[in-house]
Amino acid sequence: MDFESEIITKNFLPAVRSLLANELADEYGLYQEEIAEIMGITQPAVSQYLNEKRADKKILRKMKDDPQIMLILDEAASNAAKEERYVEEFQQILETVRSKGLMRDYFKDSEKL
């Protein structure tokens, strides 16, 4: 059994980071090195996020198909591109994922810390 925080770290964050990296590359034309600096990660990690190698494809698909999540993600990308904070948007995305049950299978047996 995993703690909720472990599920967020292993499953939720990689999916949201992948979406954010792709948005920064596609919509803002940023290079991997720029994205890495903005996100505080390495360039190879950005490459893996862009190629969807670090994120669960099922979770990615569910998030991409949800207009509310993508709207919040657009705001996060806009803030990130301006090198402003975007943690609040990540929190909103997590709340939306929870309220809509998009990761229900992952959280159903988890323990809160």
Q: What is the C-alpha to C-alpha distance for residues 63 and 19, in angstroms, rounded to an integer?
A: 9
Decide if 22 is inside a domain.
Answer: yes
> Which residue range forms the structural domain that includes residue 45?
4-106
Kindly indicate the confidence band of residue 108, based on its pLDDT and cuts at 50, 70 and 90.
confident
Task: Give the number of other Cβ atoms within 10 Å of residue 14's Cβ.
Answer: 20
Provide the mean pLDDT of the chain: 93
Residue pLDDT, tens place only, 11-23: 999 999 999 999 9
What pLDDT, on a 0 to 100 scale, did the predictor assign at position 113? 58
pTM (two decimals) = 0.91
pLDDT of 34 above 80:
yes
Tally the domains of the chain: 1
What pLDDT, on a 0 to 100 scale, did the predictor assign at position 102? 87
Decide if 112 is inside a domain.
Answer: no
